[in-house]
Amino acid sequence: MKYREIMERMDRLAAQPVKHIPEDVMGRVVAEIKKKTPKSAKMFEAARKVIPGGCEHMLSHTVPHPVFIDRGEGPFLIDVDGNRYIDYLNGGGPVLLGHNPPALIERMTEVLKKKGSFHGLCDEYETLAAEKIVQHMPAVEKVRFLQSGTEADMAAIRLARAYTEKKKIIKFCGTYHGWSDQLVVDLWVPHSGRFMANGIPESVTGDTVIVPQNDLDALRRAIEENEKDGGTAAVLVEPLGGESGTQPLEEGFHKELRKITRENNIVLIFDEVVTGFRVALGGAQELFGIDPELTVLGKIMGGCFPSSGALGGKAELMDILNSGIMSGGPSCFVAGTLAANLFSCAATYFTICEIERTNAIEKAAATTDRLVNELNVLFEDRNCPFFAYNYGSILHVETTGALHIDLTSEDGLARIFDRKTAVTNHQTFLRNEGLMTLMGKGFVTSAHGEREIKDTVEAYNRLLDAV
Task: Find out whether 353 and 240 touch, Cβ atoms under 8 Å.
Answer: no
Is residue 299 flagged as an active site residue?
yes
- Cα 254 to the center of its chain, rounded Å: 19
CA distances from 371 to 96, 109, 226, 366 (A): 16, 34, 45, 9
Q: Concatenated DSSP letters for 345-362?
A: HHHHHHHHHHHHHHTHHH
Helices (H), 196-280: 202-205, 216-226, 242-245, 253-263
Question: CB atoms < 10 A from the CB of 396, how many?
Answer: 21
**Of 166, 186, 271, 349, which residue is the catalytic one?**
271
Task: Find out whether 162 and 320 touch, Cβ atoms under 8 Å.
Answer: yes
Question: CB atoms < 10 A from the CB of 32, how many?
Answer: 11
**Of 168, 299, 314, 441, which residue is the catalytic one?**
299
φ, ψ at 261 (rounded to 5°): -65, -35
64 upstream amide cis, omega within 30 of 0: yes
Is residue 465 flagged as an active site residue?
no
Is residue 125 flagged as an active site residue?
no
Task: Find out whether 299 and 90 touch, Cβ atoms under 8 Å.
Answer: no
**Of 125, 163, 176, 349, which residue is the catalytic one?**
176
Active site residues: 176, 271, 299
